[in-house]
Amino acid sequence: MKSFKCSARHGYAVEISPFFPNRLACATSQYYGIAGCGTLLVLEQREPDILLLNSLDWNDGLFDVTWSESNEHVAVTGGGDGSLQIWDTANPRGPLRVLKGHTQEVSLKSSRRLEELCHCRTSFLHHRCRGRSSSSWFGYLCFQVYAVDWSQTRGENLLVSGSWDHTARVRPQSKDIHMPCSVWAAPSTSGVKPAFLQWDPESCQSVATFQGHEGVLYSTVWSPHIPACFASTSGDGMLRVWDVKAGSCQLAIPAHKAEILSCDWCKYDQSVVVTGAIDCSLCVWDVRSAGQPVAQLLGHSYAVRRVKASSDTCRSPSLSSWDTVASLCLASQEFSPFYKTVLASCSYDFTVRFWDYSRSPALLDTVEHHSEFVCGLDFNLHIPNQVVDCSWDETVKIYTPPCLAALQTGTS
């Protein structure tokens, strides 16, 4: 196992580069994300350590990170001030662009409702706040961009972000990272249901508005198979699948009777999505028949912060279009069965767990190498069985779980 200590920075998200097998980006915040600034750490694993390539500071906490799929040096972060920052990770100067659009729509008077939304984080964060009033720090959380993802189908160049202001937004991105661009400011959406917006980068105006979620957004993830399709999860307990081209939500699943903090698409089966919630469970869903989950995975003792489906080692072919959910249900595409049903999850119980939902029992292994909340998790697309995670204990760890190596031996 390799470990990197990021002193005075608490990890929220980590992602391995789609271009370089040994490079990763980690979004961190000072003071557990309650106050202070944020830092994007660009790291590279080398024998025998993890090397810091670049450290990029922002004036607010950073809570998620995604790599560009069209430029190997570009990464995007989501910040506590409601903005997205586009970075050239090879250059130590400030961000290339700042996209503003997420706004505060939950007033400080709503602190009681926000305490309910935060669930198991509440008592822990009160301890970290050292006397700060609940109304002040919960009000700060209203701004957070909690999720950001770059589209994985190479024919498009889109960003989707989700925020505690109840909105998800999609923005087209230029492939030329040096092209000047204005800061994009979104109009207020107060008084309407949580909305998803699509933006025109030339006019800097919204060209589509989608309404649906009725709670704060925690996760927005593009489908790796279907162009212009993403899934989102929210404090309203719903999993929604959106078709950007159709301009609407195509599927809404009441996935948990609790807030859903994370979701991910299966890399081998375009119909399968996994969700993780504050009820300590993961649910695997087949969107062709979503009446009941394919599997429910129990084992965590606190909220599931992030879930990841096992990755294949190369990009799978994309569908040319998706007009309705019906086309998704009828489409057939074969993938390698290798690790098709393997998942990973990290939690506020300080653990990372590995699952195979085709087995009974489904739990393969529990990794306990952190002393704080584990918030970030990713599989390496290039190196089979390798996993990276990050935690509030100021560490990033890269390792190969023995349970995955055993699975590979069993299938060879």
Residues 227-248: pLDDT tens digits?
Answer: 889 999 999 999 999 998 888 8
Q: What is the mean pLDDT of the chain?
A: 77
For the cut 70, the answer to whether the pLDDT of residue 52 exceeds it is yes
Average pLDDT over residues 46-57: 95
Handedness of CA 223, 229, 230, 231 (dihedral sign): negative
pLDDT at 46 over 90: yes
- Going by pLDDT thresholds of 50, 70 and 90, the confidence category of residue 84 is confident
Cα first-last separation, the chain: 24
- CA 406-411-412 angle, 5° bins: 100
Residue 112: closest CA among 122, 125, 102: 122
Q: Is the pLDDT of residue 265 over 90?
A: yes
- Can you tell me whether residue 311 is helix, strand or coil? coil
Name which residue leads in pLDDT, 15 or 156: 15
> Confidence band (pLDDT; 50, 70, 90) for 333?
very low
**19-34: average pLDDT:** 95
Does 327 have pLDDT greater than 90? no
The confidence band for 200, taking pLDDT boundaries of 50, 70 and 90, is: very low
Q: For the CA atoms of the chain, what is the radius of gyration? A: 20
CA distance 166 to 332: 34
The answer to whether the CB of 42 falls within 8 A of the CB of 52 is yes
Q: Are strands 23-29 and 38-45 parallel, antiparallel or unpaired?
A: antiparallel
For residue 329, pLDDT beyond 60: no
CB 34 within 8 A of CB 132: yes
Residue 2 · residue 397 · CB < 8 Å: yes
pLDDT over 50 (residue 181): no
pLDDT, tens digit, 9 for 90 and up, residues 140-180:
444 577 788 988 876 677 888 887 766 667 767 554 433 22
Question: Residues 320-349: what's their mean pLDDT?
Answer: 56
Q: How far is CA 17 from CA 25, 76, 114, 137, in A?
A: 7, 12, 34, 33
> Which residue spans within 217-294 are E strands per DSSP?
217-222, 229-234, 238-243, 248-254, 260-265, 272-277, 281-286
Residue 32 DSSP symbol: G
Distance CA 105, CA 367 (A): 38
Residue 328 CB-density burial (10 A; 0-12 exposed, 13-18 middle, 19+ buried): buried
Residue 103 pLDDT grade (very low, low, confident, very high; cuts 50, 70, 90) = low
Cis-peptide, bond into residue 254, ω within 30° of zero: no
Q: Token pair 């404090």 is at which residue?
A: 235
CB 282 within 8 A of CB 346: no
- The string of pLDDT tens digits covering residues 162-171 is 877 666 677 6
Q: Using CA atoms in the order 175, 176, 180, 182, what is the torsion angle rounded to 10 degrees?
A: 10
Q: Taking 70 as the threshold, does the pLDDT of residue 67 lie above it? A: yes
Residue pLDDT, tens place only, 351-381: 999 999 999 999 999 999 999 999 999 999 8
Q: Which residue has the tokens 């952190």?
A: 370
Confidence of residue 339 (pLDDT cuts 50, 70, 90): confident
Strands 38-45 and 50-58: antiparallel
Look at residue 407 in the predicted model and tell me its pLDDT: 83
Res 308: pLDDT: 94
Higher local confidence (pLDDT), 262 or 201? 262
From the options 3.90.209.20, 3.40.50.1820, 3.40.50.300, 2.130.10.10, give the CATH code of 70-84+97-105+142-411.
2.130.10.10
Count of C-beta atoms within a 10 Å radius of residue 372 = 16
CA pair distance 135, 91, nearest whole angstrom: 38
Its pTM stands at 0.82
Amino acid occupying residue 93: R
Least confident span in 119-128, 183-192, 265-274, 295-304: 183-192
* Angle (nearest 5°) at CA 15 between 10 and 19: 145
Write out pLDDT tens, residues 308-324. 998 654 444 334 344 43
Tokens, residue 116: 């309910």
Mean pLDDT for 31-59 is 95
User: Would you mind telling me the total number of residues written for the chain in this entry?
Assistant: 412
In our burial notation (b when 16+ CB lie closer than 10 A, e otherwise), range 375-403 reads bbbbbbbbebbbbbbbbbbbbbbbbebeb
Assess whether pLDDT exceeds 80 at residue 271: yes
137 DSSP assignment: H
Report which of residues 92 and 262 the model is more confident about.
262
- Output the pLDDT for position 335: 24
Reduced to 3 states (helix: H, G, I; strand: E, B; else coil), residue 320 is: coil
Are 153 and 181 in contact, with CB atoms under 8 Å apart? Answer: no
**Using one digit for the tens of pLDDT, what is the confidence trace for 280-299?**
999 999 999 999 999 999 99
Q: What mean pLDDT is predicted for residues 12-28? A: 97
The stretch 319-343 carries a mean pLDDT of 46
Instruction: Answer for the pair 58, 79: CB distance below 8 angstroms, yes or no.
Output: yes
pLDDT given for residue 51 in this prediction: 97
Evaluate if residue 138 carries a pLDDT over 70: no
